[in-house]
Amino acid sequence: MKQYISVTATFDADGNIVPLFINWDDGRRFPIDRVTDIRYAASLKAGGAGIRYTCRIQSHEKYLFLEENRWFIENEKAG
């Protein structure tokens, strides 16, 4: 099931959007340690398409998608 999530991000001086934190519904907040790749991509698992950020979060690799102006994360359970 695709779920949009709250993300804290910054705009850098060149206008690029860089996600910093994922804010979970229950109040937990996960820092994004590193973004290793940014590209346009479709998410077949969650169902959508946008800009895909490959993120390292607590030594896990996660795909974070920016679709228009909303963020969603690929959920492994759905796959």
Partner 1 sequence: MRTILHSDCNGFYASVECLYNPDIRDKPVAVGGDAEKRHGIILAKNEIAKAYHIKTGEAIWQARQKCPHLVVVRPHFERYMRFSRLCRRIYSDYTDRIENFGLDEAWLDVSGNDADGESIAQEIRERVKAELGITVSIGVSFNKIFAKLGSDYKKPDAVTVISKENYRDIVWSLPVEDLLYVGRSTKKKLNRLGVNTIGELAAFPLPALRSNFGKWGDILHTFSNGYDASPVMYADESSAIKSIGNSTTAIRDLESDEDVKMIFMVLCDSVCRRLREQGAKAGLVAIYVRDKELLSFTRQHKLSSPTDITEEILDTAMELFRANYGWEKAIRSVGVSVGELLPAGSPVQLTLLCDEHRRERQERLDRSLDMLKHRFGSFCVRQATLMKDPALSAFSPKEEHVIHPVGYF
Interface positions with partner 1 (CB under 8 A): 2, 39-49, 68, 78
Rounded to a whole number of angstroms, the minimum distance from the CB of residue 36 to partner 1 is 17
CB 18 within 8 A of CB 30: no
Residue 31 and residue 78: Cα distance in Å, rounded? Answer: 23
In the bound state with partner 1, the residue whose beta carbon lies nearer, of 45 and 57, is 45
In the bound state with partner 1, the residue whose beta carbon lies nearer, of 28 and 77, is 77
Q: Which residues of 45-69 are buried (b: 16+ CB within 10 A; e: fewer)?
A: ebebebebbebebeeeebbbbbbee
CB 71 within 8 A of CB 65: yes
Rounded to a whole number of angstroms, the minimum distance from the CB of residue 46 to partner 1 is 8
Rounded to a whole number of angstroms, the minimum distance from the CB of residue 44 to partner 1 is 6
In the bound state with partner 1, the residue whose beta carbon lies nearer, of 31 and 47, is 47
